[in-house]
Structure 1
Amino acid sequence: TIAAAADKAGDGVDINEDIFASADYRRHLAQVFTRRAIKAALQRAR
């Protein structure tokens, strides 16, 4: 599913943390952007 793919987006990736964003927040963003990209690709394919 799209949700499962988005959840896996941050797995196995070394996400750096700095003063601007925590690693957890960046992992969350990776999931959000992956979900959006998959949905956009599905829309274009239709």
Structure 2
Amino acid sequence: MVQAAVNGFQMDASEKMAEIAVELFVILCCTGCLGVRQLLYKK
């Protein structure tokens, strides 16, 4: 019983970590694109 609960918790945690990683990746991509566009417009 306890092992199953621990396994379930680990799965939950890894899924949340994956979601957070994806969100951070998207944010980084968006800020990177905006930064590049600003540099291009300034020239």
Scaled to the shorter chain, the TM-score interval is 0.5 to 0.7
Aligned counterparts of 1:22 and 1:30: Cα–Cα separation in 2? 12
Q: Give the unaligned 5+ runs of structure 1.
A: 1-16
Decide which structure has the larger Cα Rg and report it.
2
Q: Alignment identity in percent?
A: 7
When the two chains are superposed, the root-mean-square deviation of aligned CA atoms in Å is: 1.5
| More helix as a share of residues | 2
Q: Give the unaligned 5+ runs of structure 2.
A: 31-43
Give 1:38's aligned residue.
22
Aligned counterparts of 2:16 and 2:9: Cα–Cα separation in 1? 10
Please list every run of at least 4 consecutive aligned residues from structure 1 whose deviation after the TM superposition is greater than 4 angstroms: none
